[in-house]
Amino acid sequence: MNLSDIRTVREVMNRYGISAQKKYGQNFLTDETILDTIVEGAGISSDDTVLEIGPGLGTLTAKLAGAARKVVAVEIDEALIPVLKHTLDGFDNVEIISADILRCDVRELYERYGTGDGIKVAANLPYYITTPIVLKLLEYSDIIRNITVMVQKEVAQRMQAGPGSKDYGALSLAIQYYSDPVVIADVPSDRFYPSPAVDSAVISLESRENPPVEVPDVEYMFRLIRATFNMRRKTLPNALSAGISELSRAQVEKALDAMDLPHTVRGETFSLEDFARLTELLYIKS
Ligand code: SAM
């Protein structure tokens, strides 16, 4: 069954009496080349265990199953489970999990279905929860080797953005701390059924072997980063003293003095290295 063919997609949906659910971000991929780009971009081989988020009708799942040892596919929409059982009938290496990925224990899935050498994540992500999903996956960077996902083009730009750019923010820093983001394909909206309102991109997030900066407490650094970008137009002393109750403006100003920076500086110009230095200075003092 060729699920990247739009007529087949319509046929399958008609047969099961389903329609694309907007509330679940259902835009089914109908481009064979892009499917191959995701599988190749993830570097999937026959030893690999792959976690797919949102298999939908099973289009990408079938491609992944053809290349991997095992595919664990987590789908929230219960109406799609019988469809997936039908479309993936020919594969004995696919495990369909009926669940919300945000409530799944990925480590537990890995221990149950993996072989001990990490997992790869591949997905055409639901756009309404891309950021929470990706941030959740980053927490498992010790077991996830790489993440290759379709996201809104604008989100891909935010993931890759550097200091000073309007797209730069907490997401850019989280992604770049844990991985090396590279856009591997731009995907116009007409490659999906139904077409989303925005263009998309496939981004590859290769997990880093070692973090790019050393800090005394990573969670504390991300608290500083989140507080900074929650009030991105404010100066750093104002944003941090407002966002973190135990920090005073004077403490932040003293840290900026140690970094030879003016008190008027804004966090949006801060690189990851700057946030790491700030963490060192403030963490010791807090
Ligand atoms: N993989 C299919 C494809 O490429 O055609 C479908 C991709 S569609 C953009 C997103 C998929 O994610 C849908 O199947 C949707 O039901 C599923 N989904 C949405 N929210 C989810 C969640 N929280 N957990 C798991 N799956 C979810």
- CATH, domain 6-207, list 3.20.10.10, 3.40.50.150, 3.20.20.140, 3.10.129.10: 3.40.50.150
- Measured by CA distance, the residue closest to atom 6 of ligand 1 is 56
What secondary structure does DSSP assign to 101-120, as a single string? GGG--HHHHHHHH--SS-EE
Distance 77 CA to ligand 1 centre (A): 8
How many percent of the chain have pLDDT more than 90? 96
Own/partner pairs, 75-82, CB within 8 angstroms, 24+ separation: 75/99, 76/24, 76/100, 76/101, 77/21, 77/24, 77/26, 79/16, 79/18, 79/21, 80/18, 80/55, 80/56, 82/16
Q: Domain map of the chain by residue range? A: 6-207, 218-282
Q: Would the pTM count as exceeding 0.85?
A: yes
Rounded to whole angstroms, the Cα distance separating 155 from 162 reads: 13
Output the CA 61–ligand 1 centroid distance in Å. 11
Query: Ligand 1 centre and the CA of 209: distance in Å?
Result: 29
- How do strand 192-193 and strand 28-29 relate by DSSP bridges? antiparallel
Burial class (CB in 10 A: 0-12, 13-18, 19+), 56: buried
**Could you report the per-residue pLDDT of 93-151, keeping only the tens digit for each?**
999 999 999 999 999 999 999 999 999 999 999 999 999 999 999 989 999 999 999 99
Q: What token pair was written down for 237? A: 């002393």
Average pLDDT, the chain: 96
Confidence band for 285, pLDDT divided at 50, 70 and 90 = low
When pLDDT is averaged across residues 145-171 and rounded to a whole number, the result is: 97
Spacing, Cα 159 to ligand 1 middle (Å): 21
pLDDT at 59 > cutoff 70: yes
Reported as a single tens digit per residue, the pLDDT across 67-95 is 999 999 999 999 999 999 999 999 999 99
Mutate to test the pocket of ligand 1, among 77, 80, 87 (most ligand atoms within 8 A of CB): 77
Q: What is the mean pLDDT of residues 261-271?
A: 95
Contact by Cβ (8 Å): 187, 231: no
Hey, which CATH number is domain 218-282, 1.10.8.100, 2.40.10.10, 3.20.20.120, 1.10.10.10? 1.10.8.100
For atom 19 of ligand 1, the residue with the nearest CA is: 24
Instruction: Report d(CA 202, CA 127) in Å as an integer.
Output: 13
pLDDT at residue 219 above 70?
Answer: yes
Residue pLDDT, tens place only, 15-31: 999 999 999 999 999 99
The letter for the amino acid at 22 is: K
| CA nearest to 224, candidates 250, 238, 211, 243 | 243
Q: In Å, what is the CA distance from 209 to each residue of 25, 34, 181? A: 33, 28, 14
- Asked whether the predicted pLDDT for residue 286 surpasses 80, the reply is no
